[in-house]
Amino acid sequence: MSQPAPRSYLQQAFRGGMEAAAVLWAPVGVAVVLGLVGLAGALSGRPWLFPSLAPSAFMQVKAPRRRESGFYNVVVGQFLGFGSAVAAIYLFELARRPMLDGPSVHITAATVASVVVAVLLTELLEVLLNASHPPGGAMALVIILGGYRLTATDTLSIVAGVLLVGVIGETARRLRVLQLDRIGATPR
């Protein structure tokens, strides 16, 4: 006798009486948070979206009760990653190197060392400031691997993107907690 095929999360949720809104809230919430930040950046003519913001938004909406998903942790964790990367770039004298551009670029020992130092420093500072937020480490990589230049304009773009995800994502996080409380559920 064959076993029935396992049901998907959506099938289980709908058969279990969970509302469609509860199932779709997280993916739609993340899309809205990142979409609003991207739109604001497009209107400003600056790139306010960058790779480390997506996991921040996912954490805010998918795990809204976790401390790492709160406004303080998101903003401070991202800024610690940025600051640690800048410090490592100057420590290893990488500030004048050309930006990395795709997989053909040669990554040097100094680049690897700066990544190690920046991630170590980010995590250490997050622990000391009680601001754990894993995407802060991703921010360090984005900066060291050349996603942005160390200019005032790019720094302001990073600050704007982080603050917008912090504020918009915090709003989505709080709405998600209210929604979960209403249906008596906890996110997976």
Q: Which domain holds residue 27?
A: 9-183
Residue 151 in any domain: the answer is yes
Residue 4 in any domain: the answer is no
pLDDT in tens, 114-143: 999 999 999 999 999 999 999 999 999 989
CA 53 – CA 151 distance, rounded (Å): 20
Contact 126, 132 (CB under 8 A): yes
Counting residues of the chain whose pLDDT is more than 90, the rounded percentage is 62
Residue 2 in any domain: the answer is no
Place of tokens 């790019």: 154
pLDDT in tens, 89-114: 999 988 776 655 554 456 889 999 99
Structural domains of the chain, count: 1
